[in-house]
Structure 1
Amino acid sequence: MAPDPEPGESPAKPYNLSSWEWALENLDLSEYRLKSMQDMARLFLKADSPIEFLDAFLPYPSTAPKRKPRKRNPFESLVNADKELETDVVAQFRNVVALKKLCPKMVFTTSERRPDPKNMDGTGQKVDAAFFRPQDAPTDGRPHWSSQVVPAEFKSRKKGDIYDPFDDKGIDFESQAEKRKEVRAQIVTYSELVFEHQHRVFVIMLLVMGRRYRLLRWDRAGTIVTPSVDYYENPDDLCEFLWRISHLDDEALGIDPTAIRLEGDDFDELDTIAQRVVNEVDETPRPLEGETFPESFHYKYVRKMFEESIRDRDRPRYKLQIPSGDGVDHFLVGKAAVVTPGMAGRGTQCWVAWHCEGSRFVWLKDSWRVSFEEIEKEGDILARLNHVKIPGVPTLVCHGDIGNQTTLTADWWKHKNPRAPVAESPTATSAPPTVPDTVAEVGMPLKKFLFGRQLASIVLDCIGAHFDAASHKKLRVRVLHRDVSDQNIIIYPKITRSSEGVRSLVWGGLLTDWEISKPVIERNIQPKARQPQRSGRWQFMSVYLLMNTLRRVKIEDELESFFHILVYYAVRYLKSTLLTDDDAAHFLEKCYDCFTVHNNRIICGAQKWAIVMQKTAGGLFFDHPMYNSTLPITFASKGLDVIVHRFLLCISARYKILAWNEWLEKHPNHPAHPQHRDRFQTPPPSKRRRVEGDSSASDAPRRNREDDDGPTPGMRMPDIPTPEDRILADRLTNHPYMIAQIRNTTSKVSFWKEDRLHDRVPPDYKCHYPLYETLPEPQTLPEPQTTSVADSE
């Protein structure tokens, strides 16, 4: 059994779909579906009957006419559906719906053979059919994900229930049979596509298997599923479903009423905005030398990003309504610039938007907020940081919960399990409202940096923002970001003035996405966990958190994340001693994408662990499999080598102390334990002193490690930390030391060269290590192992 989380901390589930999505090699559709389904594990809840489902989620509209009872079974032509091919059942079902007028105000169209064009859906997925409003009904046999109201998927039942994704009679409702899992993964990605292409609160889906059917309701907290029912033997409930969706309005069927789909002149207005160059400024870094900017301006790249979002005229455009103070602001958007993969979770989407009231471009982020107690809205956190003028964080424009938009899956589970503890809820969220946040700065992705010195300066800006947010004296509540990753570091141009008064336009860094930040724990205050899980991107989480997923995030972990981001982008885009692109990509894969499986648990990969532990070489290195040796990694710019070296001194000292403390805890009766042998104890430093170079190895005598408890298999006594180690590790517990090191190094022009390269990871890169089909849940770990995923069995 895994130990309980550390007090005040939610367990991490770092290797989720988002982590896979950002790996070097793109997932193919089958791999993506499998991982998306795994993220939905235990989020499928069973309703007692179709009528219970209808009354709870599709209540009969008071203004609609009642469905008239039918004397004959409308599905009599489908009596042999269990024996027929899937395509035949689809065709017959379509004919029955149309001829019998079972859904009179909808059009049921099929799309099982042709996907949407690549510019609309690059995955090429084809749901079998869908219900459309008459004015939107397609005639080209494609899914039209942006317009369908209720998707419908069909499966053959010629071989029984092997294609039913759920098992009403089995112990596990989410059947683990291979074919059933494949279908479940398929419908997960179908619902995800509807959410991606439309502004949705929930999606209703019809699943037909031969003569049987299920109804499903999807939202970001999970999915509610009806039992499998024979519609030939019991046609009334399915007829009732079809009648109700025909007479319910768009909002009752899950479409967001605050997102107004644009037509005609309103649609064309976005093209006009995208062509405006008035008050536009070039973002190229340069000395300004008397150049002045308009009072209200935007950078050229921002307009280009907006223009790109509306390039495809087949894609819908929207006017979004967002609370602002006592009123409502309006924003025009096209295609989302960022879409978080997966169906489960916050479902974050971001746009470059035109703010109608402010007549300017802004960055609009929409996500589902987890509404557990004491979890703040991101807008409230940003407002506090802005109030004390902390640099390096986005400037809030407006934010607020949208009306009564909440998920209902968690409430449904509570209703069905009134006496069960909340911790046993299978849902990951608890009725979170959708929360749009709008900020003034539209940034560039980190990969756009121009040279190594600039990369270091951008990271420095974000470490400074992290430091101020965690320690600023004027803040009523100081916060720890807890999700430091490359996607949350953006580039934004800023005007600086040198000590000589020279103005320049430079590229700085902003630390974004503060939604899972948490108040810094004060002394003598007992913290408590706020939600069942915390998120984080696997590639840049600290080794300690990857090895101990139940532990609290600390400043040391966040600073280590900044280090990993710096190394990742330096190796990927800058000149180094990794001479071939394949070696650079191979190192990044092995260090940041790979994991180790130990005792059926996912833990940190061997390369990343070895670097921070500094067990093999005195610096950054690649444990190259071809040469069976370690290759030192240095960069063309000496400044990067200096920064990496300073970081690693502190990080490795931390892990040396952690390893020693863990060993002491596990071996209280060992002869080398300080309580038995005072000479083995490492005294704390009496005062801080300057440490140059690598920390010296301990010269304490090594002894036979036999203790009363018996030896731990595979675990040797670690090196005893020196006083220098403790000084170095202590420097990682706060920001000033690393801020000073990076600032001093970036100020030395002679340390830096023209070092930018192309992206060293080819677009068609194939990973060296296999993808695991089934991944166990990460938990608190045993002793670290040095086996990479390629060597695991």
Structure 2
Amino acid sequence: MSEEALQKSFTNAVNDSNLVPGLKMVITSNRPDEVAIDPTGQKSDAAFFHSHSTPTDDRPHWGDQIISVEFKSAVENSKYDAFDDADDVEGFAEAASRKKVRGQLISYAELLLAVQQRHAVFTLFVIGRQCRFVCWERSGAIATKLIDYYDDWERHRTVREGVRPARRMNELADPRDSDVNHNERDVEANELNEGHGIHGEFVYVRKMFADSLVEGWPRHEVEIVEGGKTFKFWIAKPHFIAKGLAGRGTRGYVAYWVEGDVFVWLKDSWRAVYALVDCEGDILGTLNGAGAPNVPTLLCHGDVLDLDVSVVVLTEDEKPPLPSPDVLVAHGEASSGQKLPEKILHRDISSGNILIYPRVIVKMSSLRLRWRGLLADWEMSKPIVEDEKPRQSERTGTWQFQAVSLLRANSRQRAGIPEELESVWHVLLYHAVRYLPSTLSDEEVALFLDEFFDVYRKVRPSRLNMLIHDVLKSLFWHYAVQKFDEARRIESKNSAMTAARSGDRDDDGSADQGPSTTERLLAQNMTFHGFFVGEISDAKRIASTDRSQKHDRVPTNWVSPRRPPPKVGTKVTETQSRKKRKVALQEAHLNGLRTEPSAGALASTRRAPSKDGAPMDPVLHPRGQSDLSHVRGYWMYGCLGVPNKDPCTDLDEGEEIN
């Protein structure tokens, strides 16, 4: 029986016989949900729904599913069974086809746990005449052994549905006249409330709440009991959802606090249960009590029912994360422990744990609304104690931003302040490359971020690392000294001319002292053959122990993706726009780097006017040399702040490229 025929026959049998009272089974494999619900466009084969909310459009409706159903046709050797009942395995089949199916089931379960407020979700996995029930939760999955549903047709499961909030959420999402502009600006005293905060809600906060009210996404009322007091919050679609099925499953909401009649930031996460690991709410309470700056302000926290899931509610609101000096102030205060019972190390500095929010700043006699930074997510933090044993069996933190010393295989390095500051650097690098202008194309930016932050592989260090390090350092200071000395020469010449006219002497003594003696010695390496002889000899000695196979790394059929350079004498037509002409010529210059030199490859540059306007003699250079210096200039001088003149900037209409 084909998979499609199996779906129809199974669905009809369940519904016609009312095998699951109160629920109805519907095929959902024809169309995905709206992008706002599921941007990945996934489609489960079928699902159980409450009888009163059964969909009719053949879509998955992830927010309303009670049990997801996946069908696979019966194949010899259980080719599509994601699990294994054999006694000598741990339940997970390792064949490629079976692992692929398991990945499919995991993606459905991950989406269900993200959309719904569930302790666990269930999947009915049907394979021909047999089936399994799979329970998915944040700690993993549990699957039953295969069931022959023809003989054991009475087996089924029921799942409770969460409480839905009041319809008043739609009214709360509507803009109001009392909403406050969140842009940085001067603030009048009459705009402040008794707590020196702004009257009303910020515009961006209400909009974020309105954006969370997505049609098809369930709405919930969450209760937190702390100190005998109950806090109620209304939530819909999370603003942030952590990826992955296993793990803390963190979700962040712009929530409405019912008793306080105000919007807050609600964090919902599963926490690790270890003897010496504190709740994030307790840690934030300690930081708030000591007056630690630039950390979230705690409203309440607690576990939900009897489940090991914690909810922390913050009175501040989130915006997209950016690196901020405020983060260093918060980290410095916590790690120094000056006002705390003990020093605290954050241990999970990452892009997602840095937030910004608008805050009223009092400076002298003026009030100003400014965006300030917060260091959030302190659940991984721990006191700084000498010779303390690890509290958890696995390395904690976001590995994309962790220090190199912590990522090394079998590393026993403990996280400390240097490792934390290295994480700050990685966050700064990530956002600088992603959001600031640079010479990289968007594709190159995406590739770099993927390779640097998201790809993990074991890389054998190059035998030439030390050589490259020493030469680059000497090159850097060679150009730095060259730049400084040239600037000093021009400055001295101008000062002498000024002094000659005025009769004054320039003996201010306040000029920049420039590179140090050590830095000048490094620069002199580039004039000393013995430096290169020593470096290359050391590299050769180290490389002589390398027994790996060596081959040409450039494929023989490789072709440059750039356009070939124009031939000598090519005219630049007037029909080309100046912008397109510049881009084309820059590509030609860059492509010159890949042009293999040949006999007679000397060419004359165009005549450039001298200072007095007379044309200078043409300069002979190997083809590609000017291109090479142009590209290297961006790379080397970029660190030194030396502006490079683009060789294509002032090309005139109809001018020849020689």
With normalisation by structure 1, the TM-score equals: 0.57
Matched, 1:436 2:338: no
Q: Which residue of structure 1 lines up, in the alignment, with residue 394 of structure 2?
A: 533
TM-superposed CA distance for 1:210, in Å, is 0.5
| Aligned counterpart for 1:308 among listed residues 201, 211, 215 | 211
Counterpart of 1:231, as a letter, is Y
Tell me: CA distance 1:495–1:712, structure 2 relative to 1, closer, same or farther (3 Å): farther
Among candidates 417, 433, 443, match of residue 555 of structure 1: 417
> Any conservation in 1 of the 2:321–2:352 contact (CA below 8 Å)?
yes
- Give the whole-Å Cα distance in 1 for the aligned partners of 2:107 and 2:445: 33
- Among 210, 224, 227, which residue is 2:128 paired with? 210
Structure 1 pair 574/297, CA: closer, same or farther in 2 (3 Å)?
same
2:164 is matched with which residue? 261
> Which of residues 339, 359, 367 is equivalent to 2:261?
359
Q: Which residue of 2 aligns with 1:372?
A: 274
Larger radius of gyration: 2
Matches within 5 A, 1:242-281: 242=156, 245=157, 248=158, 250-251=159-160, 255=161, 259-262=162-165, 266-267=166-167, 269-277=168-176, 279-281=178-180
Structure 1 CA distance for aligned equivalents of residues 311 and 211 of structure 2: 22
Which amino acid is the alignment partner of residue 310 of structure 2? V
Contact persistence 2:63–2:216 (CA under 8 A): no
Contact 1:469 1:479 in 2 (8 A): yes
Does the 8 Å CA contact 1:289/1:503 hold for their aligned counterparts? yes
**Residues 587 and 221 (structure 1), Cα distance of their counterparts in 2 relative to 1, 3 Å cut:** closer
**Alpha-carbon distance between aligned partners in 2 of 1:301 and 1:620, rounded to the nearest angstrom:** 49
User: What's the CA shift for 1:542?
Assistant: 1.6
Task: Give the secondary structure class of the aligned counterpart of 2:191.
Answer: coil
Name the CA distance, whole Å, in 1 between partners of 2:474 and 2:122: 54
2:374 equivalent in structure 1: 510
Secondary structure at 2:244 match in 1: coil
Please report how far the alpha carbon of residue 165 of structure 1 lies from its aligned counterpart in structure 2 after TM superposition. Answer: 0.8
1:139 equivalent in structure 2: 56
Quote the residue 2:362 is aligned against: 497
The count of corresponding residues between Structure 1 and Structure 2 is 492
* Distance of 1:275 and 1:100 partners within structure 2: 46
**Residues 277-292 of structure 1: matches in 2 within 5 Å?**
277=176, 279-288=178-187, 292=191
SS in 2 for 1:371: coil
Stretches of structure 2 that go unaligned for 5 or more consecutive residues are 480-515, 526-530, 548-658
Cα displacement (A) at 1:302: 1.1
Q: 1:261: how far off?
A: 1.1
Q: How does 1:34-113 map to 2 (within 5 A)?
A: 84-113=1-30
Task: Summarize the Cα distance change of 1:580–1:315 in structure 2 as closer, same or farther, 3 Å threshold.
Answer: closer
C-alpha spacing 1:376/1:209, structure 2 compared with 1 (3 Å): same
Q: Amino acid of the residue matched to residue 114 of structure 2?
A: E
CA distance in 1, matches of 2:517, 2:355: 33
Q: Taking structure 1 as reference, are residues 141 and 711 closer, same or farther at Cα in structure 2, changes over 3 Å only?
A: closer
1:164-563 paired onto structure 2 within 5 Å: 164-169=81-86, 171-172=88-89, 173-232=91-150, 235-236=151-152, 238-239=153-154, 241-242=155-156, 245=157, 248=158, 250-251=159-160, 255=161, 259-262=162-165, 266-267=166-167, 269-277=168-176, 279-288=178-187, 292-295=191-194, 296-310=199-213, 312-405=214-307, 433-446=308-321, 458=324, 460-498=325-363, 500-521=364-385, 523=386, 526-548=387-409, 549-563=411-425
**Residue 676 of structure 1 aligns with which residue?**
none
SS in 2 for 1:507: strand
Q: Is the 8 A contact 1:399 1:435 kept in 2?
A: yes
Q: Is the 8 A contact 1:496 1:503 kept in 2?
A: yes
Cα shift at 1:547: 2.4
Q: Which amino acid aligns with 1:541?
A: Q
- Whether 1:121 aligns to 2:50 is no
Distance 1:397-1:694 versus aligned 2 partners, 3 A rule: farther
The residue number in structure 2 matching 1:150 is 67
Counterpart-to-counterpart distance in 1, 2:522 and 2:301: 53
Following superposition, the deviation at residue 693 of structure 1 comes to 8.9
- The answer to whether the 8 A contact 2:474-2:522 is kept is no
Q: CA deviation at 1:478?
A: 2.5
- Quote the Cα distance in structure 2 between the aligned partners of 1:469 and 1:712: 49
Percent identity among equivalent residues?
37
Note the C-alpha offset of 1:507. 1.5
CA distance in 2, matches of 1:692, 1:546: 37
Gap change, CA 1:615 and 1:153, over 3 Å in 2? farther
Structure 1 residue 391 displacement after superposition: 0.7
Q: Is residue 2:27 matched to residue 1:163?
A: no
The residue identity in structure 1 corresponding to 2:360 is: I
Post-superposition offset of 1:620: 13
The 8 Å contact of residues 284 and 297 in structure 2, kept in 1 or not, is answered as: yes
Report the TM-score when normalising by structure 2: 0.68
Alignment-derived partner of residue 421 in structure 1? none
1:619 positional shift: 12
1:773 maps to what in 2? none
Alignment of 1:703-722 (within 5 A): none
Q: CA deviation at 1:365?
A: 0.5
- Displacement of 1:279 in angstroms is 4.3
Could you tell me how far apart the structure 2 residues matched to 1:550 and 1:175 are?
33
Distance 1:619 1:300 in 2: 53
Partners in 1 of 2:333 and 2:68 — Cα distance?
48
Q: What is the alpha-carbon distance in structure 1 between the residues aligned to residue 294 and residue 474 of structure 2?
A: 30
